[in-house]
Chain A
Amino acid sequence: MTSFDSLLPLLVLMTSLVTAVIIFALGEDRIRARTFVNLLGAVAKLALVGYMIWGLSQGRLFETRWPFMPQLDFVLRADSMTILFSTLSAGLWLLTTIYAIGYLEGSPNRRRFFGYFSLCVTSTMGISLAGNLITFFVFYELLTLTTYPLVVHRGTEKAVRAGSMYLRYTLAGSASMLAGMLWLYVIAGPFDFRAAGVLAPLGDSHRPQLIAIFALLVGGLGVKAAIVPLHKWLPTAMVAPAPVSALLHAVAVVKAGAFGIVRVVYDVYGAELARDLGVLTPLAAFAAITILYGSLRALAQDDFKRRLAFSTVSQVSYITLGVSLFGPMATMGGLVHLVHQGIMKITMFFAAGNAAEALGVHKISELDGVGRRLPGTMASFTIAALGMIGVPPLAGFVSKWYLGWGAAEAGQYWALGVLAASSLLNAAYFLPILYRAWFKPQRHPWPHEHPHSGRLEISWWLLFPPVATAALVLIAGLFAGHPFSPLSWVQIITRQEYPAPGLSD
């Protein structure tokens, strides 16, 4: 049994890696075979992650380890932090795959698209399972490389330019991370991630170095997490097809950055050491600026996907904010938002993709009356948007509630102001969309309507994913107290990160 336990993390990676290899080997026109392999891989991954959750709750240890270099191991390990991110990735991979099959029907280069898509998910899973910094870095870099072909997929001048910009930002970020990792390795030797941190013994003797290393690591991770001023690549990358935007913005890239920051603060430094070094306050300031700046920029966008992109810039920094306000409640708010923001944002991108695919609508100003034409799509969008604003009982409310509580607990009352302001701004840029969609009559013919025959408003492949994720937004909020909700997982993690008693339930 132990041998299986030490293979399981590798198997979780293999499901999508093997899928990718098979897809590349199949010809461009083997559509049915490709669809079958893709869905099989996604379902298998979800099943394995489910098994991993169950096993972990039984107290089993899933760890794959082999020597990567002398004295430096390659470690894949499932801990409770892993579960948070890998469940999100595996679940949304399945839905995004279903969506992408419908969205890209009949378009060229689908083999390449689905192949890199699976590799991208492999990297994301690797990031969630990485048991030490170097393993994390390997998959973090792989993610950069595998998302590049997805960004430039369309092959237009604009797409290739966006890809180059994406690479410039992310590779510069990795260089910064590499420098930080190297420095850390030299002063602390090799170590694995551990709840409540590893570096506490070095806190007194290496104070300035640890602060500099923190800046290098978080600076590198902040590029992918789109912290202002490192966010510019994200709105530009919007030229990619909708399923890519959904994956990049809800799951893979921005979450990888945010998850990395979570790992560095909690499992490398430890929350207490990070606070004592004084690195959390600047991080909180950056997060707050990003939250407000992203929202303000979102207000000014007329392009539907660009507005969602700036909203992502803003929302992802909720996670960073929760991490940087010292205290269990804020930690819970930030971590739970890792999942909540993912399901809400992906719903929105699916909806935006449907509006573009069915009607050729790309601008907010063209959305008048779209709710009557695409009721299921827009109802899903509405649930996600209200969640983002923070309306109870939806998922976003739960995040904001704990973040606010955490801010108050930490005595950081300015953060409450940031939360309130950003909720108002969320309302200001999402409510007009809802108003246009539901209450305004259609004024112009749709820019580019695709004839669709069938009882549904749009093909099943495109309608099911947003409805499913919107249902998750609702469930995650309504059943936040249930033992298997994201919030309950986050509670378990938070207990491990703050060993001292202080968690009032």
Chain B
Amino acid sequence: MNETLRNDAWLAAPILLPLLTALIASLLPDRARVRASLAGATATFVASAAVIAGVVRGGPGRHHLGGWGAPLGIDLYADGLTALMLAMTAVLGAAISVYATGYFHTARERRCFWPLWFVLWTGLNALFLTADLFNFYVTLEVVGLSAVALVAMEGGPLALTAAARYLFVAMMGSLVYMGGVALIYSQYGVLDLTLLHGRLGVGPVGRAALALMVVGLLAKTAVFPLHLWLPPAHSSAPAPVSAALSGLVVKGSFYILLRTSFSSFADSALAAIGPFLGVLGGLAVLWGSLQALTQDRLKLMVAYSTVAQIGYLFLLFPVAMPGAGDAAWQSKAYIAGIFHALSHAAAKGAMFMAAGAILHAVGRDDKNSLRGLGEKLPVATSAFAVAGVSIMALPPSGGFIAKWMMLVAAVRTGQWWWAPLMIGGGLLAAAYIFRMVKFMFFQPPASAAELHPIPRRLEFTALALALTALALGLASVYPLAVAAIGAPFPSNWFTESF
């Protein structure tokens, strides 16, 4: 990152458009609200695409909001990583918007959902486009609070309890993170990532600051053992919200950790926390998978699967950290981690949507109520199964590509012990997914009761996302090439031969 980057005024659009939509959607009457929301979603999608196109064509870009530069004003920054995160949010966001038009029955639900959803989208885009530690805090709060409100909107005792726990963890996480940021400010007097480049985590105060920052972010990302709040929150929320929470929100705090660690941490600090993060990730894979294996409710199973999948993200830190080995392989691990985040967003979004469709049609989602659905809801169950292929990391899905690259990078950097964990984790995922899928193949159904009719949109949106996860596996080279734009690694990794 340097000061001679191109100025790109488009960078503000993916933030301002959803914000505007949220305002409009909160003022309009019911029917117009949905229409305006869909228009806003489309506009946001297009704006994100414009930013991505700018990065792909012209490399990383910067924009000073209101004409003030760092360290005073708000700086927006976009490189390949930002572009991919925006793409992930735009694709899943568009799918969630379409899905939500068919999911909510009452005007009250719609009145709650649409404005909050666009505030959440605003927060996410702003988070991915920002480049200083204080703005990370602000955007993280916007994301966290709107997410909590969306969990609570169901209003039942389960949802309210889950939302309360979520709120508590989200607030504590932000506070702890903010404490770290305050310490950093007191020591360096700047919070911009570029200006802090490679300086964080040196000396006793620096180390304390970094520890606070990281712990806050780990709690928000729900990394084992700070994951306890996630399954109830993600499983009791309405399906479109669950998809956003598992697919996007946890990626937000993960993104901050990824961004800061490879651009602003001192090498010694990163080398110190890398193995620690890897161990937490490994434990998350095992614990989340084993918990998923014992769940009898479909949505809880999917939520625990998220705990495990978050674990894989953290395996990139020990492999990509400085001193782990040859830079080409470190960068592969870094990019594999980003790619895993994308694949997981598509696959997990599809799974929650399929589970929501089933819940609406059957009225329950315990495993026995899945009997016979393979025939009665073929599209939703297929979407669940196809998404499952990516979660199990079987080819030809995006999940497989991410896992393979991560495996190669781990072995190449001499850390072969992550390989059995990753391969074993894949088998565990297959076990908990097929445990549910097998019930869908049972004939005859558990009860003779007719299914409630559901809009076809619910099933087909889920299927489209599941197929997106597969497509990522067949066309991985394009997103991977984008990920390398502005990456904190030598750029020759892509063409490197060995």
Contact = CB atoms under 8 A, between A and B. Distances in A.
Contacts, number: 83
A164 interface: yes
Contacts of A183: 411
Contacts of A154: 443
Interface string A180-199: 00110110010000000000
A141 interface: yes
Interface string B420-442: 10011011001000100010011
Report which residue of B395, B396, B442, B493 has the largest number of chain A beta carbons within 10 angstroms of its beta carbon. B395
A149 B405 contact: no
Contacts of B493: 70
Contacts of A179: 419-420, 423
Contact of A138 (B395, B441, B442, B444): B395
B93 to A, nearest CB: 27
A152 B438 contact: yes
A69 interface: yes
A408 interface: no
A175 interface: yes
Interface residues of chain A: helix, strand, loop or mixed (majority): helix
Interface in A50-94: 67-71
A70 B493 CA distance: 9
Interface string A141-177: 1100100110011111101100110010001101100
Interface residues of B, number: 38
Contacts of A174: 394
Interface residues of chain B: helix, strand, loop or mixed (majority): helix
Contacts of B405: 69
A189 B498 contact: yes
B442 A70 contact: no
B331 to A, nearest CB: 10
Contacts of A109: 375, 443
A109 B376 CA distance: 10
B476 A68 contact: yes
Contact of B395 (A70, A141, A157, A189): A141
B129 interface: no
A167 to B, nearest CB: 6
Contact of A152 (B389, B412, B419, B441): B441
A186 B413 CA distance: 10
A446 interface: no
A68 B412 CA distance: 19
B148 to A, nearest CB: 38
A137 interface: yes
A186 B411 contact: yes
Given A149-B441, A155-B443, A186-B411, A69 B427 contact: no
B412 A186 contact: yes
B494 interface: yes
Nearest to A67: B477
Contacts of A182: 404, 407-408, 411, 419
Interface in A253-296: none
Contacts of A68: 401, 474, 476-477
A14 interface: no
Contacts of B372: 155
A428 interface: no
Contacts of B476: 68-69
Interface in B370-417: 372, 374-375, 378, 389, 394-396, 401, 404-405, 407-408, 411-412
A454 to B, nearest CB: 31
A112 interface: yes
A31 interface: no
A472 interface: no
A178 interface: yes
Contact of B375 (A112, A134, A167, A178): A112
B186 interface: no
B394 to A, nearest CB: 5
Interface in A383-417: none
Interface residues of A, number: 39
A504 to B, nearest CB: 43
A65 to B, nearest CB: 13
Interface in B349-381: 372, 374-375, 378
Nearest to B434: A167
A185 B332 CA distance: 15
B480 interface: yes
Contacts of B442: 155, 157, 160
Contact of B494 (A70, A172, A189): A70
Interface in A4-44: 24
A69 B411 contact: no
B408 A70 contact: no
B443 A70 contact: no
Nearest to A153: B441
B497 interface: yes
A177 to B, nearest CB: 10
Contact of A175 (B411, B423, B438, B474): B423
A71 B497 contact: yes
Given A70-B477, A182-B407, A186-B411, A155 B394 contact: no
Contacts of A148: 434
A431 to B, nearest CB: 39
A148 B411 CA distance: 32
Nearest to A160: B438
A179 B420 CA distance: 8
Contacts of B427: 171-172, 175
A160 B368 CA distance: 14
B438 A164 contact: yes
A164 B404 CA distance: 25
Contacts of B443: 108-109, 154-156
Contact of B434 (A70, A155, A157, A164): A164
Contacts of B374: 112
A138 B401 CA distance: 11
Nearest to B441: A152
6 closest Cβ pairs, A-B complex:
A155-B443, A138-B395, A152-B441, A67-B477, A186-B411, A141-B394
15 contacts: A69-B477, A112-B374, A134-B404, A137-B395, A138-B395, A152-B438, A155-B441, A156-B443, A160-B438, A164-B438, A167-B430, A172-B427, A175-B424, A179-B419, A182-B419
Interface of B: 332, 372, 374-375, 378, 389, 394-396, 401, 404-405, 407-408, 411-412, 419-420, 423-424, 426-427, 430, 434, 438, 441-444, 474, 476-477, 480, 493-494, 496-498
Given A159-B441, A164-B438, 8 more contacts: A68-B476, A69-B476, A109-B375, A134-B404, A138-B396, A152-B438, A155-B372, A182-B404
